Amino acid sequence: MPSIDAYSQRTLRSFTVRRRVDAPWIDGFVVTASGKVPRVQTALDFRDCLGSVKARWDIGRMNYRVPPGLYAAGNPGIGSTVLVSANYKMSFDRLRSVLPGRDAWILVLDTDGVNVWCSAGKGTFGTDEIVRRVQESGLERVVSHRTLVVPQLGAPGVSAHEVQRRCGFRVEYGPVQAEDLPAFLDSGMKASPDMRRVRFRLRDRAVLIPVELVMGAKYAVLLALAFLLLGGVSGGGYSLAGVRTIGLKSAAVVLGAFLAGAVLGPILLPWLPGRAFSAKGAALGLVLVAGIGAWDIFRNGGVASWLHAAAWMAITPALTSFVVMNFTGASTFTSLSGVRREMRFALPLQVAAAAIGFGFWLGGLFAA
């Protein structure tokens, strides 16, 4: 009769295996000297794509993880390449989607469900975790060579010479984009200078918009709501008519400024003037407020309140400047020193413009 310990050990093991097999993107096993390794499909299906869309919109993103450990793509053997990945499902999916027709091992690190670059910056995608996973998976018995292909964007967290010293595996940095991986592997692990550069193309920026919207929406809506309600205030007491006219319009401008910053900011980034993101955002806000003013004059034949016009000329650029400035974190080329420098002048200006503008706006309520 097996002891309790052996029994619970076995259930535990079968549980771990079951947890992995459960995933729809697993289609079998490859037997190795270190045990059975789950094999992943290399074609993405509808569920994977739906998952990416949801993750882009920040829905259940934190649950979008792959259990860490070793996986097989195709029918890898002792000579097959070992590719290292993060356990953010989107990073993992991007990797396996470029592997059809190839035999490779994929070593998934535990990065708390965060993608390669971000987790490398935090250090969770790093030397310690690579060494731990290599040892835990018994990789030295699975393959006869001693090379790991680590995505280049993981390099801020990984020290190649440390990894080699601690577990005997040499780190070869692969290309920035997973799409270039086949070319990199076929050329005997040589990356062209182009494959080593991180880009921030229109499509790279566009996919970030949903998360920008989701993250900022709460604050934008609260601010718009405040303007909506305050719109009813006037010298003669509180009026619903004020809410419907001034309040509604002010709320619309606030939401418009937020949308401009969160959607047009990323799209128009290279063409907005200045290098500081806050300057780019302010420019966007000035264009927006000019547009709103022109539209107002065209529709109503004049400006209803010069105080309110002045107010929006200050508040709108302050808002868009702030929103676009916060896009620095999503960009692929801003430095911490640079962000600090730009914030030192931008933040006080934004606050001052917003405060002065709000003063004008309140004044406009009582002057009407």
Partner 1 sequence: MRYLEDAVTLEFIPERCDGCGMCVKVCPHAVFGMENKRAALADRGACMECGACAKNCEREAIRVKAGVGCATAVLAGLMAGKEPSCGCSGESSTCG
Q: How far is the CB of 306 from partner 1 (least distance, A)?
A: 33
Our finding on whether 166 is near partner 1 (CB under 8 A) is no
- What span, in angstroms and rounded, lies between the C-alpha atoms of 103 and 185? 11
Our finding on whether 265 is near partner 1 (CB under 8 A) is no
Could you say which DSSP state residue 91 is in?
Answer: H
Token pair 């000297």 in the structure block, residue: 33
Our finding on whether 157 is near partner 1 (CB under 8 A) is yes
Instruction: Work out which of 34, 58, 147, 166 binds partner 1, going by CB under 8 A.
Output: 58
Instruction: Work out which of 28, 270, 291, 348 binds partner 1, going by CB under 8 A.
Output: 270
Nearest to partner 1 of 89, 308 (CB atom):
89
Q: How far is the CB of 225 from partner 1 (least distance, A)?
A: 22
- What span, in angstroms and rounded, lies between the C-alpha atoms of 320 and 285? 5
From start to end of 137-208, where are the E strands? Answer: 147-151, 170-174
Rounded CA Rg of the chain: 27
- What span, in angstroms and rounded, lies between the C-alpha atoms of 361 and 368? 11
CA 36 centroid distance within chain: 34
Our finding on whether 140 is near partner 1 (CB under 8 A) is no
Could you say which DSSP state residue 196 is in?
Answer: G
Instruction: Work out which of 140, 204, 245, 305 binds partner 1, going by CB under 8 A.
Output: 204
Our finding on whether 170 is near partner 1 (CB under 8 A) is no
Site for partner 1 in 93-122 (CB under 8 A): 113-118, 120-122
Instruction: Work out which of 31, 101, 301, 333 binds partner 1, going by CB under 8 A.
Output: 333
- Is the distance from CB of 88 to CB of 115 less than 8 angstroms? yes
> How big is the CA angle at 152 (ends 148 and 155), to the nearest 5 degrees?
85
Residue 145 is which amino acid? Answer: H
Binding site for partner 1 (CB under 8 A): 55-56, 58, 61-62, 64, 88, 90, 113-118, 120-122, 152-153, 155-161, 173, 176, 191, 193, 196-198, 200, 204, 207-208, 211-212, 215, 269-270, 275-277, 325-326, 328-343, 347
